[in-house]
Amino acid sequence: MPQKKSWKPLLALVGARPSPSLFAYFYHIGMLLLSLVISLLAVLLIMAEALVCIKAALYPSRALPLLQHYGLTFLEGVAFTFGASVFVYAETKQEVKHMLGLVALTRADPDQPPPVRFSDYIAVSTPAWLHSLLQADLPDKMLETLQQVVPGEPWVKRLAEYLKQHAPEHALSPSILISVGDRVSISVLGHNGRRQQFIITQPQTAAIIGMLALQKKGVWLRRQDIIQPIYGEHDQNVNQHIHRVNEKLNQAAQKVLAVPDERTKGESSSKQENNLRLIEYDESGKENLWRLPITFEVEILPGVATLFEQIRAAQTHPDFPPPERDTLNRGCRQIMDHYGKGLFGSYQKKYRGQYQCWPWATEPYAQYRDQCLTILDEAAKLEWAFAMEHQHEPAILHAAIRQTAQLNKWKLQVALGVIPHLPLAEQAVRECLNLYRMIDDFSTARHVFRIYAAFMRARDEDWKPLKEMTEIWPAATVLEKSGPKSGASE
């Protein structure tokens, strides 16, 4: 069934400036008087028609000849009176609203924001082939706020006080991005386009950054709630770890903000020296609070949340278009660049062949793992449907089947992560075996099975694959006599 094409939305920005002039008063007063006169005429017509009906009811013998000659005309007059009354009522109500807005605008202080909302006095009529988007009045409010900023307003004063205290801190500040995936990395981007990136290799430092990054922007955490689950009772190295990251952060900032002119190079470097901090502290209360600076941007497994929300929205609301096949394929490729063994996977240690995930990271790890599996599964379904649509084009069919197998191979990688999802891992292996057998790719099918078998035998030396799996491709599912004792991943 062909997919319904989704058109891009059409947007329009409309602005207006209040102008309570004398002409506006004359116009609206005149319209009110006209509405009043027409209303009186409508009332008189209704009264006259009512009297005619009463007289016809009292003297039917006299009214019958008149009704035979003028009955249709009388009914047309009643209908006209009714329609005119409804129209006059709507127009009068609208004019009263406009007049009240004009009076309120005239009485208000011109230096203050207008006491009326622009959206209350504008109406847009659209044809049937245009459907309104969700109501979003941010551009309107934002432009109105920017155009009518008054220096004396409280929020402007508070901003000025903040800038007096923190202006040197934000001077020439670079853009900083904290990326959380298999590893934690920090990217520093200068105004001139220069970029420096470094990876956090120390596990406890990565855990501090990761725990703060998982919070909503601006949310404070108690120091003890961070240090206790990460360091336990041995927290003597906390300050040293944070100091090292701050040094790296400022070194990267100095490189991206370096000025070629020798006369200003030293000055620029000195301003940035030890200026940036990875963590903000609030010690004003009884508790010592920590958070990431609100000027830092945070991304967690880039692309996962966005694609997952699009897929879920399409499944919940049939009118919402799902992600296109090419979009999903590109998104899956980008996700797997950052996924590795899963969220914080590179920092987890093994014990008896199995990873020991940080206890506080177990829930977010499973959440992003399941979202990633959903995305890969949806992409594999769309790719397989594309393959079936091109059954008579061998080249396209072969490429689509291989891509479907690759997506299932990535599913296996995700399912065999730090916190494994064994049922989906088994399903992914079986699908890979079927798909690679279709295109006669024995070596890749054998490689996929060995990855899965090594992982399972690390957990249980006596493990054997199910008959349903080995029957798919017996030659590719032969167990080695002396397999590795630890799981492998790709």
Q: Average pLDDT of 136-141?
A: 47
Q: What's the DSSP call for residue 487? A: -
Residue 465 pLDDT greater than 80, yes or no = yes
More confident residue, 136 or 74: 74
Strand partners, 175: 189
Residue 399 pLDDT greater than 50, yes or no = yes
pTM beyond cutoff 0.85: no
Q: Given pLDDT bands bounded at 50, 70 and 90, which one contains residue 63?
A: low
Select, from the ranges 167-171, 185-189, 190-194, the one with the highest average predicted confidence (pLDDT): 185-189
Q: Average pLDDT of 185-201?
A: 91
Residue 198 pLDDT greater than 90, yes or no = yes
Question: To 5 degrees, how large is the angle CA 131–CA 375–CA 360?
Answer: 115
Please state, in angstroms and as integers, the Cα–Cα distance from residue 413 to each residue in 328, 339, 345, 373, 422, following that order: 18, 9, 12, 10, 11
Among 244-248, 283-287, 301-305, the minimum mean pLDDT is found in: 283-287
Residue carrying the six token digits 């991206």 = 256
The values of phi and psi at residue 14, to 5°, are -120, 135
* Integer Cα distance of 253 and 176 in angstroms: 9
- Residue 196, classed as helix, strand or coil, is strand
The answer to whether the CB of 47 falls within 8 A of the CB of 81 is no
Mean pLDDT over all residues of the chain?
81
Select, from the ranges 125-134, 187-196, 418-427, the one with the highest average predicted confidence (pLDDT): 418-427
Q: Average pLDDT of 262-281?
A: 62
pLDDT digits (tens, 9 = 90+) for 229-266: 999 887 888 999 999 999 999 999 888 887 655 444 45
* Integer Cα distance of 148 and 110 in angstroms: 10
Q: Average pLDDT of 172-195?
A: 89
More confident residue, 24 or 203: 203
* Integer Cα distance of 300 and 179 in angstroms: 6
Among 41-45, 74-78, 439-443, the minimum mean pLDDT is found in: 74-78
Q: What separation, in Å, do the N-terminal and C-terminal C-alpha atoms of the chain show?
A: 36
More confident residue, 258 or 296: 296
Q: What percentage of residues in the chain have a pLDDT greater than 70?
A: 76
